Structure 1
């Protein structure tokens, strides 16, 4: 299989196309909003029909979870060639996602459906502090309301959210971790090491990989992700975000695609997550992963490009997007021999990192 179609015209699909080009493979992108095809890494959009897609692409994948309800992208996402078809039926709705985790016996925060307005005070009485999440559409802190124990419920539009949200118990976690792995069309699997993530206001700002003190957590994380991919008959790269609680892992979110917390693999491993995604779909064997050393990924959020960054330690990946507050417009990857060396490199990026990143590094160093 030397041709793959990715549904979505964004940055993740572009990075898949770049990875494919290095292997002599072709990944084209379909932009659902414009109903146009973007061949390879080109920005020259052209029309394409269902019949042409069927003739040209034996495999279809996705770079996001939500698509228009009608049109070519909707039809392609539901077709038997879409390796994410099962995941798209379950993962985008947090109710069905959490129900699947419960079915598989995979630990997740205790939860209930926000079916009617009175369910919110009842959940607070049951759980104490809670997190209310829209069933679909929320990301980067959007569609999420956090209420501490004894907190004010008036900030949560419970009546408006009735039937459209879930309520989770607020978990006092030690740190946030994630695992990125791949499953090939033939069922072969491969996993990156667990990654430490730091979110500010719901947006990922810094990832550190491999996460320290995870020898006992790596295999359980792999088994959970493998079980999810098998349940959904999924092929390609998938990511799972965890809370670490009392030395155990608890699933927070699932992403049926390449993931922001895996961007460190561009420079931090022999094969990036984008390479691995293409390999898994094109029938290329999933080679053993060589991680180069302690790595960091710094998200560049809502900031214009600075030429001075090119003199900083690390490699800049700039997305060419228009800049607006809260928008991910690029990332920088750093690799060092030690976490101490990584800390020195990150200090050069202090102007784009929120206050507190040093404490994240210190906590990882203490775990080492």
Structure 2
């Protein structure tokens, strides 16, 4: 751009000041002497005006940044953490419960070099969540915790309660905590395997764990997947149900990792399961084509309208939640390296659901499944469905 001449510079400055004056940013005074004989206040220069504007913008940014969702979602400092559960929470199975139970180890890890955190251990040996009296959630809140960890479940299975009743009681507990303290971190712990009875109890525990992960997502809780961490390894057990010192330490580390991670949510949903031929999660249906009876892990994450990620070796028939407008879609499956494993054409009608089969075909995961809406003319265009 050509440099303005000296004669043009004052003219340009006056035009700029006139513009700012119209926007109520500069209040120019008249050059003639005021009636009281005093000289008028000096005219603010462009540099002073810009400096003022910059200061205002910085101050405005500081205020608004404190109100962003990210700032609100940040985990507050933990000072009082309550642990709810059965004898596993109470510390049965470890040699020194006062030092080695998972709740004490987790509290110690969370505190680190900082000021001590108060551990509120509310473990009840031999009891189940479904055996708690009305007002149980309120009794927890009376302890004034700023973080709550929930470990209930193995005794609900043992004492013969149905998955439906257990899940209903669990959901009501979390809902009450959320209503009372909306910003308080709540940690949902999945049930570890129970070897107390000769018959296989994995079906009850597997179904319950899927439901707990959905509760965590709907109520925006942190998820400590201790079932997946211990993974039926009896070396982490002191007996048929209680973790030993090593098992308790692994549970504690899984819990601490969960608190440092973002909570689950309907927009950031994930589910893990190691058994079951039909898994329903947030209206998504997964039908693994299992062979044999040995547990085989499948982890589905980043579930949203754009697709999902899958870790697993089994083919899975998938039916998504009904969130897609009618139209023609292209579903692309990529492996860890980004190589396209499969491309599937999908027509969505009145049901608004995608229905397709994921097949790893011997490729290495994790796999990324992308769901994209196509234009009818055949020209592919990625559209953000959210």
TM (normalized to structure 2)? 0.27
The structure richer in strand per residue is: 1
Larger of the two Rg values belongs to structure: 2
TM (normalized to structure 1)? 0.28
